[in-house]
Structure 1
Amino acid sequence: METIVLTGASGGIGLVALRRLRALRPDAHFVLLGRRPPADPGTTGGRGATEHIACDLLSLRSLRSATNTLVTRLEAGELPPLRAVAANAGVQYVDDTTVSEDGFEATFAVNVLANHVLLRELGPRIERRGRAVVTVSDTHFGDLRHNLGLIPAPRWSSPERLARPGAFGGRSPTTAGRTAYSTSKLAAVHLVHEFARRLPDVDVIAFNPGFVPGTSLARRAGRVSRLVLGALGPVLTRTPIASDVASSGAALADVVLGRTAASSGAYVDRDRVVPSSSASHDPSREAELWDVLERLSGADGGASPA
């Protein structure tokens, strides 16, 4: 028996991954963190179970409550040993001024800060050579080859600034929102590298599903953007740039279970290890990001801003 924790499993590639994980590990205990449970988590004939813990990743209070519950139950032996954590949830907003409950820019709050808190609390509890997987994006490359110019390149600055609303001001709201997204995904790759250093007994992996039309990621996009994506999506899935939901979800499950071979700190593009961008390898930047996230989350003993 083992426990596998997932975020972002209520739909899209996360739900597909959950179904595959249940099929491959019918005796595992799955814990899903999110605002709502999946409508159809699938069934299993084994002894495993799937449970949902309500958790809003836009709220540090909610996230801490969920992770504290998990840690308490793991330490009390109420749950099987923790085998893997899949930090799959992600958001993309139409601007860079939407704020979280704690006053942080919402894209950064979910794609970076929430992942930091999740792995900070659960990472040390993962079994030796278990896995922590963070879903990232090839938008962090910021080039035409990886996203056809659909998403602006990341614009790195102080992590303290990136966490605040309006970090990409001076651009149109939509461009600023998309830049916030690509920058948050670069930060997520940095986060994987830093956790790989700090969790030597755990394989910490960055997983890129590619561009996946048909998920809820672009649900906050404008009507025109949604129509364009809806029309182009089926065409793009026939190209190397995009993947369908089924194959991306299956690839995520295989990475979580270690069926896709990858060493700690690796960047997995769907089903194979490839180099992440040159800009994503910067130990000093990664250490700075860690320190800021520790402070913003209150993990360093200080109070996070409200």
Structure 2
Amino acid sequence: MTQVFYWVPVALLGFFLLLGAFFIVKQQTAVVIETFGKFSSIRNSGLQLKIPVVQRIAGRLSLKIQQLDVLVETKTKDDVFVRLKISVQFQVIPLKVYDAFYKLQSPQDQITSYVFDVVRAEVPKMKLDDVFERKDDIAIAVKAELNDAMVDYGYDIIKTLVTDIDPDVQVKAAMNRINAAEREKVAAEYEAEAERIKIVAKARAEAESKRLQGQGIADQRREIARGLEESVEVLNNVGINSQEASALIVVTQHYDTLQSIGEETNTNLILLPNSPQAGSDMLNDMIASFVASNQIGEEMKKQNTRKSKKSDSDNLDDVEF
């Protein structure tokens, strides 16, 4: 009975030692095994075996791609303080798990230090606008520096990104005002151009309207003149001379006008004078104005002829023989 109680603890101890000899390594993970505190081996994913008590798991390293976001505040060339967010994607090199585990205590702190160093060396060379335009150059410079430094520690820098550029609040407000002013300027230029186009189009339309109106009036007067000419010719054929024909046409049109006015019940047009003698007086006045105009024209022609002869005479006197 005593022997039974003795073997039970031994069996339990053996069971737990055997159970502790097996362990599982997850996918994309590396486990560092030490024997009595000294590096022994690196185990990859799957069911693994170690010697209980003699060997232990010193640590586990993820082989997945990890991301570290670093906020850096620095000053640009034009003395503007700006905060940049640098996202660094890094990964443990599978063949350098030993270096990644034993050479570097805190890879995140090391990467952060290099990011600060590179950004504060590159950004002060640029103006604020250049920082926005050349953010890819900053990211490339950070990646190149980190690759040279971290590869010795077993880390590979996959990619670096400048994900955010945040200037000082007052600078952002000033930039917004500048952009708003630029947009208002462009809008004013477009509005002025649109107004100019409307004015030009309206002027062209009015000019075309006046031209067509003048052409219509000219055609109307031409047709009236042609009609009068035909009327006079018809009256001459029946023995009525030109003056009598003109008087007849004027009187006829005068009465036609009176008739058309009388046909409109709501008209407020009054033709003055409207007596039978009015047509004759109108014709006499027209004839008198035509005669006076012809006399003035003949007198101007005579004056021009005398001036021309006098000028020719003066020119002959100046000629020396």
Q: TM-score range by the shorter chain?
A: under 0.3
- Of Structure 1 and Structure 2, the greater helix share is in 2
Question: Normalising by structure 2, what TM-score?
Answer: 0.20
- Of Structure 1 and Structure 2, the greater strand share is in 2
Q: Which has the higher contact order (CA 8 A, sep 6+)?
A: 1
